[in-house]
Amino acid sequence: MFLSKRFRTRSILDAVVVIASVIGVSGFQFDGRITFVAAIVTATVSVLSACVPSFTPRESELADISNTVVFYSQYVTSIERLYMHYFCGEISNKEAETEFYRLQGEIPKVEAVVNHFLHRNISRISAEADKKAKTYVDEVFKSI
Protein backbone atom coordinates (compact mmCIF):
# COMPACT_ATOMS: atom_id res chain seq x y z
CA MET A 1 0.00 0.00 0.00
CA PHE A 2 2.85 2.37 0.89
CA LEU A 3 4.55 1.76 -2.44
CA SER A 4 1.38 2.17 -4.48
CA LYS A 5 0.77 5.56 -2.82
CA ARG A 6 4.34 6.62 -3.57
CA PHE A 7 4.07 5.48 -7.20
CA ARG A 8 0.77 7.34 -7.52
CA THR A 9 2.18 10.51 -5.92
CA ARG A 10 5.16 10.42 -8.26
CA SER A 11 2.90 9.93 -11.29
CA ILE A 12 0.61 12.79 -10.25
CA LEU A 13 3.52 15.19 -9.78
CA ASP A 14 4.98 14.20 -13.15
CA ALA A 15 1.58 14.77 -14.75
CA VAL A 16 1.27 18.21 -13.11
CA VAL A 17 4.65 19.21 -14.56
CA VAL A 18 3.64 18.05 -18.06
CA ILE A 19 0.21 19.71 -17.93
CA ALA A 20 1.58 22.98 -16.56
CA SER A 21 4.26 23.00 -19.25
CA VAL A 22 1.71 22.41 -22.02
CA ILE A 23 -0.59 25.11 -20.63
CA GLY A 24 2.34 27.53 -20.40
CA VAL A 25 3.41 26.93 -23.97
CA SER A 26 -0.15 27.07 -25.31
CA GLY A 27 -1.14 30.07 -23.18
CA PHE A 28 1.70 32.24 -24.42
CA GLN A 29 -0.34 33.10 -27.50
CA PHE A 30 -3.16 34.51 -25.37
CA ASP A 31 -1.54 36.04 -22.33
CA GLY A 32 2.03 36.10 -21.03
CA ARG A 33 0.81 35.78 -17.45
CA ILE A 34 -0.45 32.24 -18.17
CA THR A 35 3.06 31.26 -19.19
CA PHE A 36 4.50 32.88 -16.08
CA VAL A 37 2.09 31.07 -13.72
CA ALA A 38 2.66 27.76 -15.52
CA ALA A 39 6.43 28.22 -15.22
CA ILE A 40 6.11 28.90 -11.49
CA VAL A 41 3.93 25.80 -11.01
CA THR A 42 6.33 23.67 -13.05
CA ALA A 43 9.37 24.98 -11.17
CA THR A 44 7.73 24.54 -7.76
CA VAL A 45 6.69 20.96 -8.42
CA SER A 46 10.08 20.12 -9.92
CA VAL A 47 11.95 21.63 -6.97
CA LEU A 48 9.68 19.78 -4.52
CA SER A 49 10.33 16.51 -6.33
CA ALA A 50 14.09 17.10 -6.31
CA CYS A 51 14.47 18.50 -2.79
CA VAL A 52 12.16 16.19 -0.93
CA PRO A 53 12.99 12.66 -2.12
CA SER A 54 11.14 11.11 0.82
CA PHE A 55 8.00 12.78 -0.51
CA THR A 56 8.55 11.52 -4.04
CA PRO A 57 11.18 8.76 -4.19
CA ARG A 58 12.69 7.92 -7.56
CA GLU A 59 11.46 4.86 -9.44
CA SER A 60 14.69 3.00 -8.68
CA GLU A 61 14.27 3.68 -4.95
CA LEU A 62 10.69 2.42 -5.03
CA ALA A 63 11.88 -0.71 -6.83
CA ASP A 64 14.57 -1.21 -4.16
CA ILE A 65 11.97 -0.91 -1.40
CA SER A 66 9.69 -3.34 -3.19
CA ASN A 67 12.52 -5.86 -3.68
CA THR A 68 13.48 -5.56 -0.01
CA VAL A 69 9.89 -6.24 1.09
CA VAL A 70 9.79 -9.30 -1.17
CA PHE A 71 13.14 -10.49 0.19
CA TYR A 72 12.04 -10.27 3.82
CA SER A 73 8.73 -11.93 3.05
CA GLN A 74 10.54 -14.86 1.44
CA TYR A 75 13.09 -14.89 4.27
CA VAL A 76 10.42 -15.15 6.97
CA THR A 77 8.67 -17.90 5.03
CA SER A 78 11.97 -19.80 4.73
CA ILE A 79 12.62 -19.49 8.47
CA GLU A 80 9.10 -20.72 9.25
CA ARG A 81 9.52 -23.65 6.85
CA LEU A 82 12.90 -24.49 8.43
CA TYR A 83 11.36 -24.45 11.88
CA MET A 84 8.50 -26.74 10.82
CA HIS A 85 10.87 -29.22 9.14
CA TYR A 86 12.99 -29.29 12.29
CA PHE A 87 10.02 -29.43 14.67
CA CYS A 88 8.48 -32.35 12.74
CA GLY A 89 11.79 -34.22 12.80
CA GLU A 90 12.31 -34.10 9.04
CA ILE A 91 15.81 -32.62 9.43
CA SER A 92 18.50 -32.99 12.05
CA ASN A 93 19.80 -30.34 14.42
CA LYS A 94 22.96 -29.93 12.34
CA GLU A 95 21.00 -29.58 9.07
CA ALA A 96 18.70 -27.00 10.67
CA GLU A 97 21.64 -25.03 12.02
CA THR A 98 23.42 -25.08 8.65
CA GLU A 99 20.30 -23.95 6.81
CA PHE A 100 19.60 -21.25 9.40
CA TYR A 101 23.04 -19.72 9.04
CA ARG A 102 22.82 -19.97 5.25
CA LEU A 103 19.60 -17.95 5.41
CA GLN A 104 21.24 -15.46 7.78
CA GLY A 105 24.02 -15.02 5.24
CA GLU A 106 21.56 -13.66 2.70
CA ILE A 107 20.57 -10.65 4.83
CA PRO A 108 23.57 -8.46 3.90
CA LYS A 109 22.23 -8.39 0.32
CA VAL A 110 19.48 -6.01 1.41
CA GLU A 111 21.06 -4.29 4.41
CA ALA A 112 22.49 -1.53 2.20
CA VAL A 113 19.00 -0.69 0.92
CA VAL A 114 17.54 -0.72 4.42
CA ASN A 115 20.37 1.47 5.76
CA HIS A 116 19.95 3.92 2.88
CA PHE A 117 16.28 4.47 3.62
CA LEU A 118 16.73 4.69 7.36
CA HIS A 119 19.43 7.35 6.78
CA ARG A 120 21.38 6.15 9.77
CA ASN A 121 23.62 3.32 10.78
CA ILE A 122 21.63 0.50 12.33
CA SER A 123 24.59 -1.62 13.32
CA ARG A 124 23.80 -1.35 17.04
CA ILE A 125 20.18 -2.36 16.50
CA SER A 126 21.24 -5.10 14.09
CA ALA A 127 23.85 -6.44 16.52
CA GLU A 128 21.29 -6.51 19.33
CA ALA A 129 18.74 -8.27 17.10
CA ASP A 130 21.36 -10.80 15.98
CA LYS A 131 22.31 -11.47 19.59
CA LYS A 132 18.69 -12.04 20.63
CA ALA A 133 17.95 -14.18 17.58
CA LYS A 134 21.01 -16.36 18.17
CA THR A 135 20.10 -16.73 21.85
CA TYR A 136 16.58 -17.74 20.88
CA VAL A 137 17.77 -20.23 18.28
CA ASP A 138 20.31 -21.73 20.68
CA GLU A 139 17.61 -22.16 23.33
CA VAL A 140 15.15 -23.71 20.89
CA PHE A 141 17.62 -26.07 19.24
CA LYS A 142 19.26 -27.14 22.53
CA SER A 143 15.93 -27.80 24.25
CA ILE A 144 14.62 -30.08 21.52
Is the model more confident about 73 or about 144? 73
Report the predicted TM-score, pTM, of the whole model to 2 decimal places. Answer: 0.48
The pLDDT tens digits of the residues spanning 3-37 come to 566 667 777 777 878 888 888 777 777 777 878 88
SS (HEC) of the chain: CHHHHHHHHHHHHHHHHHHHHHHHHHHCCCCHHHHHHHHHHHHHHHHHHHHCCCCCCCHHHHHHHHHHHHHHHHHHHHHHHHHHHHHCCCCCHHHHHHHHHHHHCCCHHHHHHHHHHHCCCCHHHHHHHHHHHHHHHHHHHHHC
Mean of all residue pLDDT scores within the chain = 78
